[in-house]
Structure 1
Amino acid sequence: MLRKVIICFTAAVFLLNIMAISVLSAPAVGEPVYDVETVADIMANTNVFELQAKSYVLMDAETGQILLENRSHERLPIASITKIMSMLLVMEAIDSGKINMDDIVTASEYAASMGGSQAYIEPGEQYTVRDALKAVATHSSNDVTVSLAELVAGSEQVFVVLMNEKAKELGMNNTNFLDCTGLTDEGHYSTAYDVALMSRELIVKHPKILEFTSIWMDTFRNGEFQLVNTNKLVHFYEGCDGLKTGFTRAAGHCLSATAKRNDMRLISVVLGEPDSNTRFAETRKLLDYGFANYESKQVNKKGEVVNEIEVKRALIPKIKALYGDDVKLLFARSDKGKVVREVRLKSFLTAPVAKGEKVGEVVYKIGEKEIAKVDLVSDRDVEKASFGKLFINMLSSWFSLGRS
């Protein structure tokens, strides 16, 4: 009987979400509308938006470069944005082979007791990791999140230890997790910058998660429970495919969002917004600014030849210097055409030389500011030649010259 009541209630909420779409897609009454050009004008001479968010940051996902920020290192409660770290650890467990998408999750009494946003799971109820991720990524289900934590680590308590260890590894120096859901306010905190760091780690290292965070509407429990993504931007903002909302009274309305257009992916984090509509509107402003004012371009690929270098005391006279990695530049559109490539090569090498050994570097600059750097590496192994081999090689060269 209780489940029927819950299902009916959920269906009603689902219909209300659908009815609200037209409202959410438009700015609120009296809200200023900013197009791309207007945003560019506003930000032309400042690095701070006049936003209502207590803290925000705009980051390029590829390079980790900060494009905009304000109080981005201030410790604040982050509510369900916490689940980004939870999803990160689950995806790491999947990619390492510890668990897989089709493994069965069995809900414990503790997991089923979670309040807040939930899928109303019952103790002993079973579902796949795939379905669980869907419920967490879209509906922000606290009960399902805890059940995943228990699957990965045995208990939420141990899982939280792993969360904090991962935070430290990522350089999230102003973060402390006390649970895997974000339900705890006091003592559980992070910053806009730290949230951007873990968001970047999740989407860059585990892009498959975007298949879940980009879902707009779906179902859970064999179609019985309707899922509607709490991040409305996946439906209303071009290129948005994630990532996670959050809300408690202490945290306010929070959002870590990511969007990709052409070759550039951005991450926007806003914390402490006064209401839900404002967090979406201000996230749009940040993303619009990034796409309007910055450009990402791949200029060289790993393995491309830059030049040749002489090798002394070797039978092979030269090696090729190759790009050791792909080179992708992020620069302001106003600086387009000002990027200079500076090749720094050793004048010669002395054998032995190992394949992949650094033999120089390429630096990309705008004026005196370095915007990117990549190592140049040897294309082959070169052994050191013995005196006898060098002498024979020299004689062969002389005889060849004599015949010519």
Structure 2
Amino acid sequence: MYKRVLVVFLAIMSVVTLLASPGTAQADPAENGPGLETTAEAAVLMEPNTGQVIFSKQPDKELPMASVTKIMTMLLIVEAVDDGKLKLSDRITASENAWSMGGSQIYLEPGEEMSLEEMLISIAVGSANDACVAVAEHLAGSEEAFVQMMNKRAKELGLKHTHFANTNGLPVENHYTSAHDMAMILREALKHPLFVKVSSTYRYDIRGGDFVLWNTNKLLKWYDGTIAGKTGWTNEAKYCLASAVERDGLRLIAVVLGTPEPRSHFRESIKLYNYGFAQYQAVNLETKGARVGTVRVGKGTEQQLDVVTADPVSLVVLRGHDKGFSKKIVLPQYIEAPINKGDIVGRYVVTKDGKEAMRVNLIANKTIPKASILQQMYRVIDEIYKLN
């Protein structure tokens, strides 16, 4: 009997020791954020260059997001401007449908005109529901068609927990996102300088200064390094915020959905940022568009091509773990024309301890057409002449 009790006791102690061992069942701080809690119903802290999630709470839970919706609306607008489909000087005329929007608005009258720039800033700064509809109708022909564009773009971004039913986030059925999906939308928007510019505007005057807009994202004043963001609130969604902050070369995105009381979306976002900047640092090796090499070009109008990075070569690591990274530029010695600007011609590989940590495409910085037969003949003759 004594031996049986002793065996059971030793077995129990072995299990306890195993569970207490520091080498087992340890949470990865890069994924779970030990000691970090938030009252948000769902939250994500992300590094946008790589998409690495530093902290998450129910990241895929589908929730209403109120006016945070407008980040996708603005993304489609700035993409249209960058693609040349719209100009900031374009005149937008408000319809009766736009005029009928409630909630946050700039009180557009049917038939009233404003420039696209004024409308876009009114969306970013004043969270104007009527401006969202006016621009959507101008770009897509109707709000419904624009919403289809929003959902199509969400699918292109690989989002599985997002569906839009309107352009502005006013309460409606079948309109939801997740904290992770919204972080991905903001990540895409941050690639556009125009989005960052309007999103970081704190005050804007319209109608000749008769109407003043103040940005609803108070982090622009309360938290150093804030570069973008959009707030949201409805009874259904509670308080929501998707924002971005950059300090010491490290850019972070925080999304909080469903925080309970006024200003709690700011408080909870700051909590996430404080954790992120205290625990992590950036290893910035190259900026986007940095020239890192050249390639000889055959049968082209030019004989040499500069190669640049397609994206920033930047990693986020735990503080104190920023040493020991190696880089390798992988390029062909020779490439034949024609070459289009943006064509992938190589890769930039970052390794640490023999393992690949990051890979970024290297692309052509210009278009080089194929040379004509006559041009190629002249080049051969010129090279023969030089040899003699």
TM-score normalised by structure 2 residue count: 0.74
- For residue 210 of structure 2, the aligned residue among 224, 241, 250 is 224
- Give distance in 1, aligned partners of 2:264 and 2:270: 10
- Give distance in 1, aligned partners of 2:110 and 2:219: 33
| Aligned residues of 1:210 and 1:241 also touching (Cα < 8 A) | yes
Q: Secondary structure at the match of 1:334?
A: coil
Q: Once structures 1 and 2 are overlaid, which stretch shifts more, 70-79 or 281-290?
A: 281-290
**Is 1:199 paired with 2:192?**
no
Alignment correspondent of 1:275: 261
- Give distance in 1, aligned partners of 2:173 and 2:187: 26
| Aligned residues of 2:106 and 2:128 also touching (Cα < 8 A) | yes
TM-superposed deviation, 1:369: 5.7
| Aligned residues of 1:138 and 1:228 also touching (Cα < 8 A) | yes
- Give distance in 2, aligned partners of 1:201 and 1:54: 24
**1:240 partner amino acid:** T
Give the alignment of 1:141-156 within 5 angstroms: 141-156=128-143
- For residue 78 of structure 1, the aligned residue among 65, 86, 90 is 65
Q: Secondary structure at the match of 2:281?
A: strand
Q: Secondary structure at the match of 1:304?
A: strand
Change (3 A) 1:354 1:47: farther
TM-superposed deviation, 1:287: 1.4
| Aligned residues of 1:77 and 1:185 also touching (Cα < 8 A) | no
**Is 1:163 paired with 2:144?**
no
**Is 1:293 paired with 2:279?**
yes
| Aligned residues of 2:31 and 2:53 also touching (Cα < 8 A) | no
Q: Once structures 1 and 2 are overlaid, which stretch shifts more, 182-191 or 49-58?
A: 182-191
**1:147 partner amino acid:** A
Gaps of 5+ in 1: 1-42, 309-318, 379-404
- For residue 328 of structure 1, the aligned residue among 314, 325, 330 is 314
- For residue 341 of structure 1, the aligned residue among 322, 326, 333 is 326
TM-superposed deviation, 1:187: 1.0
| Aligned residues of 1:341 and 1:362 also touching (Cα < 8 A) | no
Alignment correspondent of 1:89: 76
- Give distance in 2, aligned partners of 1:46 and 1:166: 29
Query: CA RMSD of the aligned region, Å?
Result: 3.2
- Give distance in 2, aligned partners of 1:92 and 1:377: 21
TM-score normalised by structure 1 residue count: 0.72
Alignment correspondent of 2:103: 116
TM-superposed deviation, 1:253: 0.4
TM-superposed deviation, 1:368: 6.9
- For residue 292 of structure 2, the aligned residue among 294, 301, 304 is 304
| Aligned residues of 1:296 and 1:331 also touching (Cα < 8 A) | yes
Q: Once structures 1 and 2 are overlaid, which stretch shifts more, 159-168 or 62-71?
A: 62-71
| Aligned residues of 1:321 and 1:359 also touching (Cα < 8 A) | no
TM-superposed deviation, 1:283: 0.5
- Give distance in 2, aligned partners of 1:327 and 1:196: 20
- Give distance in 1, aligned partners of 2:83 and 2:291: 28
Q: Secondary structure at the match of 1:72?
A: coil
Tell me the alpha carbon deviations over residues 68-124 of structure 1, each in whole angstroms, 9 at most, x when there is no partner.
111111110111111111101111111122211111111100100001111111111
- Give distance in 2, aligned partners of 1:264 and 1:62: 10
In the alignment of these two chains, the number of paired residues is: 323
- Give distance in 1, aligned partners of 2:363 and 2:120: 41
